[in-house]
Structures are given as C-alpha cells and as structure tokens.
Structure 1
Amino acid sequence: MTGQSPLGPAPTPAAAPGWPPELVLLLGDEGGDLLRAVVGTAGGELEAWAPVYVAHDPGVSTVVQHDATVRWPSGRRTVEPLVTATSRRIPDGATVMEADGLRVGVWTRDRDPALPGLHAVLDPDAAPALLRDLGLDLGPVDVAVVAYRPGRRAVVEVTGPRGRALLKVVRPHKVDALCRRHLLLADHLPVPRLVGRDGSGVVALSVLAGRTAREAVVDGSPLPDLDALEALLDRLPTELVDGSPLVGGPLARVPHVAAVVGATVPGERPRVDRVVEALDAGSAPDLPVVAVHGDLYEAQVMVQGDRPTGLLDIDGVGPGHRIDDVADLLAHLDVLSGIPGHARARPWAEELLLAADARLDPGELRRRTGAAVLALASGPFRVLEPGWRAATAARLDRARCWAEAGGRRARPGRWP
C-alpha cells in the first residue's frame, strides 16, 4: 500500500560512535543505495528516504523500516514503506544484496516475505473478498495499519459500511497458537473474539466496545482502580498455568535490554550499567505463579466508565507473577506521564502504587518497575523520535530511581 508523497524526508540520524556495523550500514548513505537499487528494479527513482523504525537484536538481527519517496516514470510520487534487514535468517522471498561484508534482505511492507497474508489485507480491492472468506461482509473497506513489526506481525483495522474488524497478520506457523489463546480466553473474560482465519497468517478479530485506558487518560474519563484491574486479571483461566514455561518478567529481560540500549545508544552505557547494578541489589522472593497478561499497559486495557471491560494483545498470556503485570503497568504510566497531553497518567499511577503496596512487596515492586522502565528506554531510538538520545537518558534515570527505591529502602506509598 502506498501513499502520496509529502515534501522531503526527515534527516537520517547521525551515526553514533560505537554503533555496530549493521546500524551504520542500514541507517547511513549505503543503506540508501540498497533502497535505490530495489526501487530502480521496479522502474522508480528514489528521491528521499527516512528511517522510521529500528529493531536491533545484538548479534542476531537488525531491521530498519524506511519511508521512501519514489518518483515513477509517470511523474507521480509515492511514499513506499521499505524494509532493510541483516539477520542470520533473512526470510525467503526477500531481495538479498551484499554491502560492507554483510548480507542484507530488502522488501516492501506490502510484500513482507515472512507475512504472506499482508499483501491482500493492504489491498483495498482484494480486502473485501478476503474478509468474506474470513466470515466478514463489511462491504468496501478503508484499510489502516495500526502496527507493523517487519518480519513478525502486523495489525490492520478495516472499516466498512457494515462494521469494522481487526486483522492480525502473523507468520503462518503462529496462527494455531494465537487462535487457541483467543478461543480459550473468550470463555472467561472479554477479549477480541475470533472471527476467522486463513492459511496465509491472517486472523480476523472483533473490535471490543469502549476506549482504551490510554484514551481515557487523555480525554479525562474515569480510570479503574487496582481492585477492578486485578478482578479482570483474576478471570484469566488457570489452564494457562498448567504445563507452560513462565512468562519472562521485567527482571528476566534486563540482560537483553541492557545489551540493546548499550549498542544503540553507546554513550549511555555508563547509565545502563548503573541501572543494572541497582537492579542486582536485591534477591528475588519466592512468588506464587498465576495466569498473567505478560505485557500489561494502559493501551491494552479497555474501559467503560471506571470499569475495565476487556484486554487486548493477549499473545503473551501464560503463567507468571502478578507483581510483574503491575510493574509493567506502572512503568508505562511513569513514561507516559512525561509525554504532553498525558499528565493524568501520574496521579493514576500513584493511586495504583499506593494500593499495590498494601498487597505486594513494596521493595520488589519498585525493583521490577525499574526493570520495566529500563526496557522502555529502548523505545526512543526504536522509533527515532526527535531527541531520542536525551529521551533515552531520561528513561534510564527513571529506571535507576525505581531500582534504588526498592529493596530495604522502599517507602510504601511513596512515588520514587
């Protein structure tokens, strides 16, 4: 799917000293040469490009999505979402090139070789027939990409005169497990209802009524208290606990996150080390295992009035520790409160923390919240937001505040 071109591109980020070769290549001028070659084979001319998403997994893969402005022989200009990737396993079907001793796969978003179902979903002419095959007759549809993670998944909203739906596009071998989760959870609590599926990795889901808690933060609507949120989480089925590995919580993710932030923002390695040192100061207690969401934050919770009415993005549900779901939510609200228009996130988080301290270990909760904030420190670089270096430093400082507020020094009810 293409869009009409705006004026010129945003500048690419200046290479940071200490960046690994993959980032230097894909975010630099040579990355543009790779895009230019692919666009040229399609008959177009690359006029400008700007990276909009970066996923770097040290030693494993680096993936960059670009918005490329292309001029076609007719004189028309479009913006094409193009992806460049280095990986141990470049997906079959990508155009493969070599540059600076690295193998690079290149593809368009619409033709993501790992997500074969995405092309028909993003084609407004083909989408209605696809939807009918999935059990949805919405008529002519507008198609909007909600999320796209190259090579991994996409979420697309389709809206027509007879309703709307969400299409989740995953790698085909992931479909069975995703559908089983939705079918299992639908018997216990409100989650998007499974409408249909196909062999190309497309799963059609219903749209839950209400608004997300993030929208409620912005528009001043009531927000749920911890009792209401836990009551919803308590409805997660106990079958999720049986025979499955534990969902990795924020502390389990610390080594990987520290490596990612240290590689992408090398100048902040000393800050990262201080956060990791503070997080290592405590020992993990023996905690009960329950069914958890695994990635709980305000955009995943649907609300009506002050009641939470549903959960979104249930791909990661499984056995884990309730304290980790609470820590993830507090971490997201801490970061969200610093974004213009989201100031209500802070008082809501303070209320949740006060209630959580009465039923969870206050020190351990702060330590795990610090680990969750550390994970969010990779976000500014990932989406290359303006001032991403300063934003990364600010999140690392908040992670350290939470970590140092944990352990024996925890003061229940007090915001770090």
Structure 2
Amino acid sequence: MGMEDDPAGWALLTSPGIGELLAAAVAHGGGTLRSWRVDGVDAEPGLQTTATYQTEVEWPFGPRTELLGVSARVGGAAGTDADAVIFAAGDRQVAAWLYPRDPDLPGLVRAALPGGVAQLLTENLVLGRPVDPAQVHLELVGYRPRRRAVLRAVVADADGPRTFFLKVLKDDAVAPTVRRHELLRGAGLPVPEVVAATDDQVLILPALPGRTLAHALFDGSEPCSGEVLVGLLDALPAEAAELPRHIPWADAVGQYAHTVAQALPGLQPRLTALQDQIAAGLDPIPPGGEATHGDFHEGQVFVDGGRVVGLLDVDRVGPGRRADDLACLVAHLATIQGMTPEQERGIDRLAAQWMTVFDARVDPAELRLRAAAIVISLATGPYRTQQAGWQQATEAIIVRAEQLLLSIR
C-alpha cells in the first residue's frame, strides 16, 4: 500500500512487513533484531502516525530489550525527522529512533537515565547538594512519542526518599507550561511548583500530597463531592481565559472517529451516527470564555480527606466552557478499563451523583454531547496501547458514547 492509499502511514506501521524496516534500523545501530511486537500506535489523522515497538536486540555487548520508534508523515520526512535516522519504506520515507533518543524530546536522553537525572538534580540544586546516580530510582510513567514523556524519580535522602517528576516536553511547550504553573500557583491553586526548567526541555516538579482521585475512586466511599470538583475549576483565575485557546477535545471528534474506524471498520456506521448527533447538538454553541483546565480527569486530581490537595497537567489551561472540563471527567469515568463488575457499579453510582451536581452548573445536554465526543476520543486507547482484547474494549467504549447520547432528555 503506497502513500496515496495510506497518506499518514497507519497501515504501513501496523503491518507485518514493518519488521524489515525495524531490522534495518537496528542494523544501522550495529545490532541484530531477534523479535518485535507493536507496543503502541499514535495517529494524528491527516498529519502523521507514530508507532513504538518492543524489540529484542542482539548487540555486540549482549542481548537487550529496546523500545524502537518509527514515524511516517504525510508528504514524507521533514523537520525534526532529520534528528532521527531516515529510511525508505516503499514509496515513502520514515524516521526511526531508539528510545530515549526521541527526535522531538532531546531532554529525554538525560531524563531517562539515573546518571542524567542525578546530573539534572545536581545542576539545578534541587536538593541543595550533589546527587549520586546510585541514589536515583527511575520509572517511566508515560510516553507519547514525539510529544511528551513523564518519569518518576525517587531519590534516597538522609531524611527519607524524595520524589520528583520529570516532564519532558517539545521546545515550544516549555515556556507556556511554566507560565500556566506560575499563574495558577499565584491564584492559590494546588498545582506543583516548577523547581527547574532546563535548556533541554525538562521540567522538574515535586510530588504532590494526597492520592490521585483515580485511586481514591475505589475506596468504597465518595472521595470528594461533585461540588468540590466544580469549585476547584471555578477557582481557576480569570487571567487564564486570556491565554491561547486549545481546541476542545469534542471539536476533534471527527479525527478520533476516523482513527477508530481505521482500526475497526465495522464500527463506521455507528461512529457516523454519533458524529452527526454530536455535531448537530454542539455546532450552535459558542466556544466560551471561562477559564478551563483543558484535560480534567481523575488522574489529574489529588485528594485527601474529601479535599482537593493537588492538580496536575495544566498545559492546556485556557479559555473554554465549563462543560468541556466536566465532560472530560465524565468521559474518563465512563471508560475506565479492567474493573470488576462490582467496581464498575460503584463507579457508575459515583458518576451519577456527580452528574447531578454538574447538571446544575452546565447545560445537561451539552455535558452529555461533549462527554460522548470525548468518549470517542478515548476509544482510540485500547488499540493505541495494544491492550489485549482491544477490539471488544473499543466497541464497549463506543457503547458508552451511545448511552450518553440516549440519556439526553
């Protein structure tokens, strides 16, 4: 399949034939590819597709597991692809790299290794003393190739372990992210302080207190009230509404539906029906000018004793509608994976309690339309992360979007 039929490279990067390219990429570095499997697929419809692969490589010094990344762009290799290795794949060019040498995240090379993290912490006087690499325990928390990475660093200290998060960003995201942290902290919001921002695009943040709402959801009692969550969002400073606007997740529902349909063509009619209803409902609604978080869900909120004590990932803070944020949380609650039936019932009860509160703050129909759109965006997750049984999981998520629209009165 050539560029004309597969302009963004989805079919190429997910085909068995990609193994030959992976072998060539490993050989370019002096190794021999022994095995590979797709680890994740990140598609930007109409622009590019990036895939990661878990590989077993035989190097001159011995065997090792490696994470290999490959990107295909519409129109061929360009820009920062030059910082990777360019290979020909049929009638197109693709860029390949071995983690952590991500061409758009130069700081990942240091942030992914204990020695590099010790150097970062020492250079920026984060602990007020030199840090030895042997004191650093690292864990990769999240990696979206060519977009961002987050690592947890636990540092042994005389007074007990100290935990920091290293957020590795693209160059154009650093200054806006720091600005948002400073703005929200100045307004009294419980966001972490940026203790250092390095020249190679790494932000160093201390761990927040409390527990994530994602964990507290399963405690068997309400971890915080819906009113507390709405109050947290309403406490965002008015100045945040003057920042550049990010496109709300719901506005990109067509792109996400296209990605889901590429993976499961049989869902196309249902996705089209969902898109049509969402578009008809949301098109008349103006963009909104409230200060919003932009990616508000249970993984971003830390709670303790019914209070919110922390708020993460403020990169998308800017103008929008309160329904954007509340719908994001509703959609994430509706698509939590891996629950037992009892846990699922508990989450559904909690979501219903919170929805009653949210319905009093925003238009209930708009809330459900936006939540359904965001559910469709989350339906890309099982395939993107190569979850076992991703086909059934994807269809179950689409059912959730349909149920949200059916609940509009």
After TM superposition, the score normalised by the length of structure 2 is 0.89
Q: State the Cα distance separating 1:118 from its structure 2 match.
A: 0.8
2:145 equivalent in structure 1: 150
Other structure's SS at 1:92 match:
helix
CA distance in 1, matches of 2:226, 2:174: 33
Other structure's SS at 1:91 match:
helix
Q: State the Cα distance separating 1:327 from its structure 2 match.
A: 0.8
Amino acid at match of 2:180: R
Q: Residue by residue, what CA displacement relative to the aligned partner does 1:218-247 show, whole Å, maximum 9, x if unpaired? A: 3446411111112211221111112x4444
Q: Residue by residue, what CA displacement relative to the aligned partner does 1:16-43 show, whole Å, maximum 9, x if unpaired? A: xx97782332222321111111212333
Give structure 2 stretches of 5+ with no counterpart. Answer: none
Q: State the Cα distance separating 1:383 from its structure 2 match.
A: 0.8
1:41 equivalent in structure 2: 28
Q: State the Cα distance separating 1:306 from its structure 2 match.
A: 1.5
Identity of aligned residues (%): 35
Q: Residue by residue, what CA displacement relative to the aligned partner does 1:109-137 show, whole Å, maximum 9, x if unpaired? A: 21112111111111212321221112323
1:105 equivalent in structure 2: 95
1:349 equivalent in structure 2: 351
Shift in alpha-carbon separation, 1:91–1:219, aligned structure 2, 3 A = farther
Is 1:360 aligned to residue 362 of structure 2?
yes
Shift in alpha-carbon separation, 1:221–1:212, aligned structure 2, 3 A = farther
1:339 equivalent in structure 2: 339
Shift in alpha-carbon separation, 1:337–1:93, aligned structure 2, 3 A = closer
Q: Residue by residue, what CA displacement relative to the aligned partner does 1:323-364 show, whole Å, maximum 9, x if unpaired? A: 111111011101117634843322211100122223322222
CA distance in 2, matches of 1:245, 1:73: 50
Deviates more, 1:41-50 or 1:23-32: 23-32
1:69 equivalent in structure 2: 56
Deviates more, 1:266-275 or 1:294-303: 266-275
1:414 equivalent in structure 2: none
Q: CA RMSD in A?
A: 2.1
Q: Residue by residue, what CA displacement relative to the aligned partner does 1:173-227 show, whole Å, maximum 9, x if unpaired? A: 3211111111111112110111011111111111110110011123446411111
1:369 equivalent in structure 2: 371
Amino acid at match of 1:355: V
Amino acid at match of 1:376: L
1:85 equivalent in structure 2: 71
CA distance in 2, matches of 1:46, 1:221: 50
Other structure's SS at 2:82 match:
coil
Q: State the Cα distance separating 1:52 from its structure 2 match.
A: 1.2
CA distance in 2, matches of 1:29, 1:69: 16
Counterparts of residues 318-333 of structure 1 (less than 5 Å): 318-333=318-333
CA distance in 2, matches of 1:245, 1:126: 33
Shift in alpha-carbon separation, 1:143–1:319, aligned structure 2, 3 A = same
> How many residues end up aligned between the 2 structures?
388
Asked whether the 8 Å contact 2:100–2:112 carries over to 1, the reply is: yes
Asked whether the 8 Å contact 2:150–2:167 carries over to 1, the reply is: yes
1:192 equivalent in structure 2: 192
Counterparts of residues 145-224 of structure 1 (less than 5 Å): 145-162=140-157, 163-188=162-187, 189-220=189-220, 222-224=222-224
Amino acid at match of 1:256: Q
Amino acid at match of 1:159: V
